[in-house]
Chain A
Amino acid sequence: MSHVPDVVVTGLGATTPLGGDVTSTWAAALNGESGARRFDDAWFERAGTFGIPVEFAATIKVDPGEVLTRPEQKKMDPSAQYAIIAAREAWADAGSPEVDGDRLGSVVSSGIGGLQTILDAWEKLLTNPDGGARRVLPMTVPMLMPNSPTAYVSLEFGARAGAHALVSACASGAEAIGYGVEMIRSGRADVVIAGGTEATIHPMPVAAFAASRTLSLRNHDPEGASRPYDVDRDGFVIGEGSGIVILESAEHAAARGARVYARIAGIGLSADGYHITSPEPSGDGQIRAMKAALEESGIARTDIVHVNAHATSTVVGDLIEARSIRGLLGDEADHVALSATKSMTGHLLGGAGALETIFTVLALHERQAPPTINVENPDPELVLDLVRDKPRALRDGQIGAVNNSFGFGGHNVALVVASV
């Protein structure tokens, strides 16, 4: 192919711990609000005796029951419900583009899949030991499969160029957007609905993440628990929700007069090949991903003014990433406004990379970087300029930003977003 299309973002959708759509989520983020809250009474009634050391999470703000019909809820695992809610918003936000279904793709990832459906079905057997198999719902398999969210998006919008679900733990949402960009660049599609989703706030996964010693135990202060780069950070806050973007070839968007938020200019992918959960300490894999994305983007280092960090609020991970950014940009890192939005949203796992891409796109579109909250005492080893508590204005002219997403397994995804 002689001509590789530019890929732009023309629609945004989300349902998150901060709000039921992008507008409310972004407003809460700019306002420095936390989506973390103590579990409700029903949680403790069900799980109070298990000894789970974590008593809070960044649960979704708007219950899907408020926006979906009962049959929709019954046919979809919550992970797919969140994705459909976000996809509908993104599609409408893009102006419901007229596009041949054969040229429309769907790439919606989840890090874990339909876990609540799996656990519900297993519970049916455990609680009905005498013939419980007949209590297992026929929709269990289509609901639990990790490609279920992308399949439902494909069904709803008639996306027939391909429906994909890339799985790379907490990098899944960003990798999905990267793959969506590639679908358009390679000529397979003109428009792609892309993003990530997760719905694993359930006693079993919370117990399991706690067992891996990666969750914050700040039970006395849920809203202050996610504190990337603060000296007292002690782990991430599990979150849930979905972020979806509409990707479109620049030509297709221009031909229909679509509003363009930003351009996805570079994608960088790498693997650490080092440890199943710990990031490689030198940051080599992270740097390779960011470098590849930056080089592909053609944006000068001097024009990279913002980074939305993966920064989950773990002791080791935050600093490795900060050093990687410094390692990549050198002195140019001095003028990077670093934001760690998980301080507000919690960690949406497979939804995180997509939601943070939305934040990065909006930061460039509106020329303001969202804040990082809860940083009372910045880690002295942090070698970057952290945007704290209040949003910060970004300069005029051509600017770019990096969104980092890393996942258990050593997956590194960096997206370079450019202003338009």
Chain B
Amino acid sequence: MAYSEQEILAGLAEIVSEETGLPTDSVLPEKSFTDDLDIDSLSMMTIVTLAEEKFEVTIPDDEVKNLATVGDAVSFIAGAQA
């Protein structure tokens, strides 16, 4: 079953919130993982690992550096589901 972009955003927001302590409603598509959410590389990899498990996708390491914003990650996961 494919997740909608809205479901992916909600799920990702939950993962980011657990990792950072930020409220889920602050995890918006335009937010930058590093500049806005203050997520370091190790935390980013944790988020990737948990997102892969949750959405049953693979996010290759080479791709992670292209995921600057929450929206980038949502789009990638949505596309990777196919």
Contacts and interface: CB of A to CB of B under 8 A. Distances in A.
A137 B49 contact: yes
Contacts of B18: 70-71, 74
Contact of A138 (B21, B45, B58): B45
A138 B19 contact: no
Nearest to B42: A138
Which of A69, A70, A138 has the largest number of chain B CB atoms within 10 A? A138
Contacts of B53: 135
A70 B21 CA distance: 7
A266 to B, nearest CB: 43
B49 A71 contact: no
Q: Is chain A's interface secondary structure helix, strand, loop, or mixed overall?
A: helix
B49 A135 contact: yes
A208 interface: no
Nearest to B18: A70
Nearest to A138: B45
Contacts of B19: 71, 74
Contacts of A142: 42
A256 interface: no
Interface string A47-84: 00000000000000000000001110010000000000
B52 interface: yes
A74 B15 CA distance: 11
Given A134-B58, A138-B45, A71 B52 contact: no
A139 interface: yes
Contacts of B45: 138
Interface in A138-190: 138-139, 142
> 9 tightest CB-CB pairs across the interface, nearest first?
A138-B45, A71-B21, A138-B46, A70-B18, A69-B21, A138-B42, A137-B49, A71-B19, A137-B46
Interface of A: 69-71, 74, 134-139, 142
20 contacts: A69-B21, A70-B21, A71-B18, A71-B19, A71-B20, A71-B21, A74-B19, A134-B49, A134-B58, A135-B52, A135-B53, A136-B49, A137-B46, A137-B49, A137-B50, A138-B42, A138-B46, A139-B42, A139-B46, A142-B42
